[in-house]
Structures are given as C-alpha cells and as structure tokens.
Amino acid sequence: RPAAKNFFSVLAHSAGTMVPSSQQRLGIATGIALAASGAGLEAVLRDDPRIAAAPALVTAVVLLLRAVPSPAWTPPLGLDVDLEVKASGVAGLGLYARRPIQRGTFLLDYRGEELSEAELTRRYQDTGVADYALTVVGVFGEPAYVDGVDPTKSNAARYMNHAPEETANVRKVKQRFPKRLLRFFAKRDLRAGEELFFDYGSAYWRGREDRIVTHTHTPPGTE
C-alpha cells in the first residue's frame, strides 16, 4: 500500500499542480484545434483515419492524467494527538507536529467555504485581501477557491505558514477529481515539535510581494 500511495501522490502532484491562466488555456485549446485540423488534412491526403484520431487521443490522455486522484490511505491527522497550533517563529500562529511523522503521510485537507471567482471578489471587494483563500481547480481547469477565513468552517490547515518549495516540509497536492481538494502530505520525515510549512505558490503572493516571509528549514541531521 505505501508504494501505491507514493505513486499516485507523485503522479497527481506532477499532473495537477500547475494552474493555467485563461490565456494559457486559450493557447492550449487553439493548439489542439490547429493540431486536429492539421491531422484531419493529413488523414485526407494519406487516406488514414487513424491520424485524425491522434489529437483526440492526446487530449483524452491529458485529461485522464489531470483527473488522477490523490488518495489518502489514512484518516487526516488530528489536533492534540498528532498536531498542535501554537505561536509561530515566523508569523502569528503555526501548525506543529506533536509526534514524529513519516515521509509521505497524509496530513489533512485544506477546509473552508468553496467560492467561485465572482463570489470571492464580492466577499473581498473592499479590502482586496483574501489571506486564507487558496485555489482549487477541476479537470478542465475551471477555478474555484477554498476560503478558510472562518475558523468554524475551516480546520488546522489554515494555520500552516509559507516556505519556498525547496525548503517546505509539506507538499501541497491539488486533486481535481472526483472532488476538488487541496491535500497535504509530509514531504520528508518530520520531527516532534517541528513547525509545518508549505509553498503558497506565486499566485498567492501576487500584489503582496512586500509581505512575503522567507523561512528556511534546517533539515534533520544538518544542524
């Protein structure tokens, strides 16, 4: 089971972490349309219908990869036993491991209210700052947001602070199917008392670059 878990986690992460913009999605669609037109013309010239089917096959494979779920083989970790919230050395409160946690362990999902882009804009039209809103996407790239601003509708994941991907000890995986989720897994073995960090992503910091807090971990055994 652990081997299967790692395979699906890596596959889902590699297939689903990049969220294309509207212009990028338009470019992809245009590219597929041009490829389909070219394949259709080539199929007529060669009298080979298999060539015409190639773009559709490629598209189906891409969508299939984007739809690969990121299964959690174990229940989410809980507060008071596995995790705890306390003052962070980086910013405000942070989420900490209460016990050693093995690499690849499913930690928890990011919970909150799921909002469309229009709903998120209306909610924060006065301040323009959505500190607890993270992006989730569907198989076709349609965006939505999970807003954990309300602690009663969110969970402990809202207390995780940011660290760059190269030093973060938690891996964020965007699951597109069957349910849009943000899932968190231990990127390496975690020590008891260690604060948990993941990379919020460049889109999160757009327009608030002056607020970026850089944190660098000291990996175990290198102190």
DSSP for 145-212 reads EEE--SGGGS-GGGGPEE--TTT-SEEEEEE-SSS-EEEEEESS-B-TTPBPEE---HHHHTT-GGG-
* Per-residue pLDDT tens over the stretch 34-74: 666 665 555 555 665 555 555 555 544 444 444 444 567 78
Among candidate residues 145, 151, 153, 12, the one with its CA nearest the CA of residue 95? 151
State the pLDDT at residue 73. Answer: 77
State the pLDDT at residue 183. Answer: 92
Residue 206's pLDDT band (boundaries 50, 70, 90)?
confident
Residue 184 sits at the vertex; the CA angle it makes with 157 and 205, to the nearest 5 degrees, is: 70
Q: What DSSP designation does 136 have?
A: E
State the pLDDT at residue 37. Answer: 60
Residue 179's pLDDT band (boundaries 50, 70, 90)?
confident
Among candidate residues 161, 134, 138, 136, the one with its CA nearest the CA of residue 149? 134
The dihedral region occupied by 204, where left means phi > 0, alpha psi between -120 and 50, and beta the remainder, is alpha
Q: What share of the chain in percent tops pLDDT 70?
A: 57
Strand order in the sheet with 170-175: 106-109, 181-186, 170-175
Number of alpha carbons in the 13 Å side-chain half-sphere of residue 218 = 3
More confident residue, 106 or 11: 106
Q: Say what angle helices 49-66 and 2-16 make with each other, to 10 degrees.
A: 110
Q: Find the mean pLDDT for residues 143-170.
A: 93
State the pLDDT at residue 196. Answer: 97
* Per-residue pLDDT tens over the stretch 80-106: 899 999 999 888 899 999 999 999 999
With residue 52 as reference, give the H or E element that holds it.
helix 49-66
| Residue 9 contacts residue 170 (beta carbons within 8 Å) | no
Q: Find the mean pLDDT for residues 169-187.
A: 87
Residue 4's pLDDT band (boundaries 50, 70, 90)?
very low
